[in-house]
Amino acid sequence: MPVLLNYWMIFPLVAVVSLLLTGVIRRYALSRNLLDIPNNRSSHAVPTPRAGGLAIVLTFFPGLLALWMIGSLPTKVLFALFGAGSLVTWIGFLDDRRHIPPKWRLGAHFLGAAWGIFWLGDLPPLSVFGHLVHLGWAGYLLAAVYLVWVLNLYNFMDGIDGIAGIEAITVCLGGGIVSALFAPASQEWLVPALLLSAVAGFLCWNFPPAKIFMGDSGSGFLGLTLGLLSIQASQVNPELFWCWLILLGVFIVDATTTLLRRAIRGKAIYEAHCSHAYQHASRRFDAHRPVSVVVGMINLFWLLPVALLVTFGSLPGSTGLLIAYSPLIFCAFLFKAGLEVRQKNISA
CA distances from 223 to 127, 128, 226, 239 (A): 23, 24, 5, 20
Q: What's the pLDDT at 316?
A: 93
Q: What is the pLDDT of residues 123-170, one digit of tens each?
A: 988 888 877 888 888 999 999 999 999 999 999 999 999 999 999 999
155 is annotated as contributing to ligand binding: yes
> Mean pLDDT throughout 326-331?
98
158 is annotated as contributing to ligand binding: no
Q: Is the pLDDT of residue 5 over 60?
A: no
Q: Where are the chain's structural domains? A: 2-334
Q: What is the pLDDT of residues 271-310, one digit of tens each?
A: 778 899 999 999 999 999 999 999 999 999 999 999 999 9
Q: What is the pLDDT of residues 200-218, one digit of tens each?
A: 999 999 999 999 999 999 9
225, 201, 214, 217: which is closest to 59 by C-alpha?
201
> Mean pLDDT throughout 184-211?
94
Q: Is the pLDDT of residue 7 over 80?
A: no
Q: What's the pLDDT at 1?
A: 41
Q: Is the pLDDT of residue 345 over 70?
A: no
**Pseudo-torsion of CA 300, 303, 77, 117, nearest 10°?**
-150
Q: Is the pLDDT of residue 71 over 80?
A: yes
Percentage of the chain exceeding pLDDT 90? 74
